[in-house]
Amino acid sequence: MKIAVIGTGYVGLVAGACFASKAHDVICVDVIKEKVDKINRGISPIFEEGLEDMLHDLVPRKKLRATLNLKKAVLESELIFISVGTPSKDEAKFDYTYLEQATKDVGLALKEADDYKVVVIKSTCIPGTTINLLKPILEQMSGKKCGKDFGLGFSPEFLREGVAVYDFMNPDRIVIGGVDDKSIEMIESVFINFNSPIMNTDPTTAEMIKITSNSFLAMKISFINEMANIAEKIGSDIKDIAKGIGMDSRISPKFLGAGLGWGGSCFPKDVSALCQQTKEVGVPSLMLESTIAVNKKQPLRSIELLEEALEDNTVKGKKIAVLGLAFKPNTDDMREAVSIPIINSLLDKGAEVHAHDPAAMKNAKEIFDSPNLFLEEDPIQALSDAEGCILVTEWRIYGQLSPKTFKGAMKTPILIDGRRLFDSKKMRTRGIKYFGIGLGK
CA distances from 22 to 18, 63, 161, 250, 404 (A): 6, 10, 21, 34, 49
Q: Which does 263 bind (CB under 5 to 8 A by kind): ligand UGA, ligand NAD, none?
A: ligand UGA
How many CA atoms lie less than 13 Å away from 132 in the CB half-sphere?
8
- The answer to whether the beta carbons of residues 430 and 294 sit under 8 Å apart is no
Q: Which does 272 bind (CB under 5 to 8 A by kind): ligand NAD, ligand UGA, none?
A: none
Q: Which long-range contacts (CB under 8 A, 24 or more apart) does 428-437 make?
A: 430/403, 430/404, 431/403, 431/407, 432/403, 432/406, 432/407, 433/309, 435/305, 435/306, 435/308, 435/309, 437/225, 437/228, 437/232, 437/238, 437/258, 437/259, 437/260, 437/301, 437/302, 437/305
Measured in degrees and rounded to the nearest 5, phi and psi for residue 178 equal -115, 155
Residue placing its CB nearer to ligand NAD in the complex, 8 or 44: 8
Q: Which does 217 bind (CB under 5 to 8 A by kind): ligand UGA, ligand NAD, none?
A: ligand UGA
Residue placing its CB nearer to ligand UGA in the complex, 172 or 369: 172
Residue placing its CB nearer to ligand UGA in the complex, 299 or 413: 299
Neighbours of 205 (CB within 10 A): 15
Query: What is d(CA 109, CA 77) in angstroms, rounded to the nearest whole number?
Result: 11
Q: Which does 48 bind (CB under 5 to 8 A by kind): ligand UGA, ligand NAD, none?
A: none
Neighbours of 182 (CB within 10 A): 14
For ligand UGA, which residue of 45, 85, 263, 413 counts as binding (CB under 6 A)?
263
Query: What is d(CA 81, CA 83) in angstroms, rounded to the nearest whole number?
Result: 6
- For the bound state, the minimum distance from the C-beta of residue 236 to ligand NAD, rounded and expressed in Å, comes to 34
- For the bound state, the minimum distance from the C-beta of residue 350 to ligand NAD, rounded and expressed in Å, comes to 36
H helix intervals, 43-149? 51-58, 70-76, 97-111, 129, 135-142
What is the crossing angle of helices 301-309 and 339-348, to 10°?
40
Quick check: 267 binds ligand UGA (CB under 6 A)?
yes
For ligand UGA, which residue of 264, 324, 358, 403 counts as binding (CB under 6 A)?
264
| Residue numbers at the binding site for ligand NAD (CB under 6 A) | 6-12, 29-32, 35, 70, 83-86, 98, 101-102, 105, 122-124, 157, 159, 161, 265-266
Quick check: 306 binds ligand UGA (CB under 6 A)?
no
- For the bound state, the minimum distance from the C-beta of residue 342 to ligand UGA, rounded and expressed in Å, comes to 13
- For the bound state, the minimum distance from the C-beta of residue 50 to ligand NAD, rounded and expressed in Å, comes to 15
- For the bound state, the minimum distance from the C-beta of residue 36 to ligand NAD, rounded and expressed in Å, comes to 9
- For the bound state, the minimum distance from the C-beta of residue 251 to ligand NAD, rounded and expressed in Å, comes to 24
Query: What is d(CA 34, CA 40) in angstroms, rounded to the nearest whole number?
Result: 10
- For the bound state, the minimum distance from the C-beta of residue 259 to ligand UGA, rounded and expressed in Å, comes to 4
Q: Which does 30 bind (CB under 5 to 8 A by kind): ligand NAD, ligand UGA, none?
A: ligand NAD
What mask of x and - would describe binding to ligand UGA in positions 142 to 161, judged by CB under 6 A? ---------------xxxxx
Q: Is 18 one of the annotated active-site residues of the chain?
A: no
Query: What is d(CA 375, CA 7) in angstroms, rounded to the nearest whole number?
Result: 32
**Could you give the 3-state DSSP secondary structure of residue 125?**
coil
Residue placing its CB nearer to ligand UGA in the complex, 115 or 172: 172
What mask of x and - would describe binding to ligand UGA in positions 315 to 354, judged by CB under 6 A? ------------xx--------------------------
Q: C-alpha angle 26/192/179, rounded to 5°?
A: 85
DSSP string, 215-248: HHHHHHHHHHHHHHHHHHHHT-BHHHHHHHHHTS
| Active-site hit among 18, 125, 146, 266 | 266
Residue placing its CB nearer to ligand NAD in the complex, 108 or 198: 108
Q: Which does 9 bind (CB under 5 to 8 A by kind): ligand UGA, ligand NAD, none?
A: ligand NAD
- The answer to whether the beta carbons of residues 2 and 78 sit under 8 Å apart is yes
Q: Which does 98 bind (CB under 5 to 8 A by kind): ligand NAD, ligand UGA, none?
A: ligand NAD
Residues that bind ligand UGA in the complex, under the rule CB under 6 A: 124, 157-161, 214, 217, 221, 255-257, 259, 262-267, 327-328
Give the catalytic positions in this structure.
Answer: 266
